[in-house]
Structure 1
Amino acid sequence: MSAVVENVMTTDVAAVNENASFHTVAELLISRGVSGVPVLDDDNRVLGVVSEADLLAKEEFKERYYGDGYRPPLRARIRHATGSEGSGYRKSLGETAGALMTSPAHVTTPDAPVVSAARLMDRYGVKRLPVVDADGRLAGIVSRRDLIKVFLRPDEDIEQEVREALHGRADVAVADAVVTLSGTYAEHSQAVTAVRLAENIDGVVAVHDELTWKHDDIADLPVWGGA
């Protein structure tokens, strides 16, 4: 059975209300040792995420507010000159979490497969995802580190699940989450399916295929197309 987000997420979540001050957000990031936190409305629904990068926007545009001779980075000066400052400049004016946050937040749900959460993180380039219930209320948070937990399953557990998935039709050995399959199937396609089933087991790092077969039904398939 595939692991779901609920199995690996953290329920003790550092989060802030949308009206929390800049100072409160900064203190929370430092005290909890995190780089970003969900921003909630008064009903505990996730509105967005505020990160270190969002707070640093104020430093990037510091010259405009403090006049202390601070010289922004080149990319910031280009945006100033072209008028294409966008959300970075808007966030530099922010005094509350709601004004500083990136919204809407990329979220997942407790029953989502772990692999789906990993793909979301990769697609959007984020390190963590707020986990919300059916009403959009915060239920937890899942990070890249949490997702790695599925690879820490004991070899014995992985071996048992692989054997069950293959109905005992192959010899299974597992060492450091690497599965080795051996034995003989009647058909080549059955051996291919066995490898794919093993690869899909949570915690499996790799599958070494040492299977053989009596009949190559794949080679017998007609080839379509051609000249």
Structure 2
Amino acid sequence: MTVQRFTVADVMTRKVVAVRGGAGFKEIVAAMERWKVTAVPVVEGEGRVVGVVSEADLLAKEEFHDHRLGMVEQLLRLDATAKAGSRRARDLMTSPAVTVAPDASLPRAARLMAARRVKRLPVVDADGIIQGVVSRSDLLKVFLRPDDDLAEEVRGSVVEHLFPLSGHRVDVRVEAGVVTLTGEVGDSSLIPLAARLAQAVEGVVDVRCRLTGAAG
């Protein structure tokens, strides 16, 4: 059975906006504004990612702009107060960067974003060299797959594989990403598996399984 599995490389943005460690505060803000991004990777050498500067890192300067902290508060917020007094990317960035490999699955990238509470991940190769950036919106691109493509994949990778003799009696319809399976199959014990495999096809929103086993 061949199921098309999308990876981060399939959906990532390859045109990367990055800055060097010596980039100044205003240069970073200008890059974010120009390219409409909320974070930029910090790279060195041939493009090795060493950190990420996000809007949250930059806002520390504004937060403490007119607020003098007491000694106790300074001790409790050492990282934020240090960034508030910094002007260069190397001092403002969060390091090490949370990155993902190009061949990582989309669910893995989504789980990583959720666990680390980030909106974008630099995509790096085995040497840590940046290859692209993947965002939350990039991960949703698979749900733009045409319904006809989804129907063809569900039929070929699920129905014909599980029901080689009775698959011709199964109707596969997809509307707005929702798969509906109807018909009569020879082995009813495989119906739950068919529903799970159809749901696992990249881009499927939901599955309505109305398959029944052959009588007698």
TM-score normalised by the chain length of structure 1: 0.84
Residue 91 (structure 2) aligns with: 99
Q: Is there any run of 5+ residues in structure 2 with no aligned partner, and where?
A: 161-166
The structure whose Rg is larger is 1
Q: Is the 8 A contact 1:162 1:198 kept in 2?
A: yes
Q: Is the 8 A contact 1:186 1:213 kept in 2?
A: yes
Between 108-117 and 131-140, the greater mean CA deviation after superposition: 108-117
In structure 2, relative to structure 1, the CA distance for the partners of 1:6 and 1:79 (3 Å cut) is farther
In structure 2, relative to structure 1, the CA distance for the partners of 1:164 and 1:139 (3 Å cut) is same
Residue 156 (structure 1) aligns with: 148
Residue 11 (structure 2) aligns with: 8
Q: Is the 8 A contact 1:17 1:42 kept in 2?
A: no
CA distance in 1, matches of 2:186, 2:20: 61
CA distance in 2, matches of 1:86, 1:201: 46
CA distance in 2, matches of 1:57, 1:173: 52
Give the letter aligned to residue 172 of structure 2. Answer: V
Between 82-91 and 148-157, the greater mean CA deviation after superposition: 82-91
**1:50-61 to 2 correspondence within 5 Å?**
50-61=53-64
CA distance in 2, matches of 1:4, 1:78: 48
Q: Is the 8 A contact 1:198 1:207 kept in 2?
A: yes
CA distance in 2, matches of 1:5, 1:111: 6
Residue 67 (structure 1) aligns with: none
Q: Is the 8 A contact 1:79 1:85 kept in 2?
A: no
In structure 2, relative to structure 1, the CA distance for the partners of 1:161 and 1:85 (3 Å cut) is same
1:80-127 per-position Cα deviation (integer Å, ceiling 9, x unaligned): 536201311111121110100011111111111112111111111111
The match for 1:36 among 30, 36, 39 is: 39
In structure 2, relative to structure 1, the CA distance for the partners of 1:79 and 1:167 (3 Å cut) is farther
Whether 1:118 and 2:110 are equivalent positions in the alignment is: yes
In structure 2, relative to structure 1, the CA distance for the partners of 1:23 and 1:96 (3 Å cut) is same
Length, aligned pairs only: 204
**1:1-227 to 2 correspondence within 5 Å?**
1-62=4-65, 70-71=66-67, 80-81=72-73, 83-168=75-160, 169=167, 170-214=170-214
Residue 66 (structure 1) aligns with: none
TM-score normalised by the chain length of structure 2: 0.88
CA distance in 2, matches of 1:119, 1:176: 25
Residue 220 (structure 1) aligns with: none
